[in-house]
Structure 1
Amino acid sequence: MDKSKSALTNDNDSASQFIDAKIEELGGWRGETLARVRSIIKQAVPEVVETVKWRGVPVWEHSGIICTGETYKTAVKLTFAKGATLDDPARLFNSSLEGNTRRAIDIHEGETIDEAALKALVRAAAVLNVSASTVRRKAVR
């Protein structure tokens, strides 16, 4: 993965290449899961921007951070930056439930991803970011 370390930028192409390399390096169920959630995120918000932050963590943004994709030995974790304010009728959030800002989804080996529910969460996070961005711009004027 040394070769892809240079991709640690906010340039969308190099960030996407870094994430490609990370998925390939992970392999197995974690690589497959990260690739699948990445695809779902891109389907939900086609204009999403991929970045890499915090020493190699994939981040998906649209007028702010939608979520991050961290990988651990026993889980792929999607952390939604403003998850506490999002409706989650499918109850996907199963981690980081104690705070008043973030929420996370831990996906373990063999678990099925509710694609429709995840797309709805991603879209809701993007809409929340856009509306917050609009409010900030109006306040500056």
Structure 2
Amino acid sequence: MSTDWREAKADEVRSLIMRAEPDMTEEVKWRKPSNPDGVPTFSLDGLVCTLETYKDKIKLTFAKGASLPDPSSVFNASLTAGTRRAIDIKENDEVDADAFVALIQAAVAANRE
């Protein structure tokens, strides 16, 4: 990941993920020539989400997002996908920390069902 606003946003969501579930494991997967840094993944009792960096945003994709409660409407991407849901965060977007933490906790609970 580059050292710009995207790195700061990624660090912010990483800290929220760890606040939500201190036992979460972060791994980098899917390294390839077109993406030598790979894709950070967060798992606890199964895959919770991935974190990708794009030119204009960072994207968190939740493996079981379609089945998670989202009363604060944190999900804003992939809303019609059958299984997953995503959150696109752009440079000036504010992350609702409490709603995000609740979503991470719901994703871990779904993995444990």
TM-score of the pair, normalised by structure 2: 0.92
Letter in 1 for 2:83: T
Return the structure number with greater helix share. Answer: 1
- Structure 1 partner of 2:110: 128
Pick aligned residue for 2:21 from 45, 48, 68: 45
- Other structure's SS at 1:98 match: coil
Between Structure 1 and Structure 2, whose CA radius of gyration is higher?
A: 1
Return the structure number with greater strand share. Answer: 2
**Alpha-carbon deviation of 1:115?**
0.4
Number of residue pairs the alignment of both structures matches: 107
The runs of 5 or more residues in structure 2 that have no matched partner are: 32-37
Say whether 1:87 aligns with 2:87: no
TM-score of the pair, normalised by structure 1: 0.74
The runs of 5 or more residues in structure 1 that have no matched partner are: 1-21, 132-141
**Alpha-carbon deviation of 1:99?**
1.1
Aligned partners of 2:98 and 2:3: how far apart in 1?
25
Structure number with higher relative contact order (C-alpha < 8 Å, ≥ 6 residues apart) = 2
- Structure 2 partner of 1:34: 10
